[in-house]
Amino acid sequence: MSGQGRYRDMWKRHADVDAIVWTIDDERDRIGVVRDEMQMFVDEVERQRLLSSTRRRPPPIVIFAGSSSDTPLSLREISGLLDLPRRLKSHDWFFCRWNRTNGNGLECGMDWLTAQVKRRIC
């Protein structure tokens, strides 16, 4: 689902999920927007989880960082700027770099996410 402003209202209808895949561009001038939007979505997922009769564990989150920059931010820099350890403390999460052109990096993140989901349902 897109993160563009006109689609964000749809998040409320899709917050009761088994897993979350979040893709970001590591542009320095957009990191603050990504941080705020991620927090709003994670808050909505938590609200939906608490309203659910099953009270499942928070869904695992895989975050893919793509870059179109000649000087991309490191994963450590992005993690710090997004404050991931604090914001995602109730979720299992995995963060990896991916190449939007050829898909390198997707397999690693999706393998992790698949294993997380399997662990929860088996």
Residues in the annotated binding site for GTP: 3
Rounded CA gap, 118 and 50, in Å? 22
Question: Residue 22: phi, psi to the nearest 5?
Answer: -120, 125
Contact of 28 with 70, CB cutoff 8 Å: no
Rounded CA gap, 72 and 51, in Å? 39
In Å, what is the CA distance from 39 to each residue of 36, 75, 96?
Answer: 5, 18, 19
Instruction: List, as residue ranges, the binding site.
Output: 3
Residue 116's identity, in one-letter code, is Q
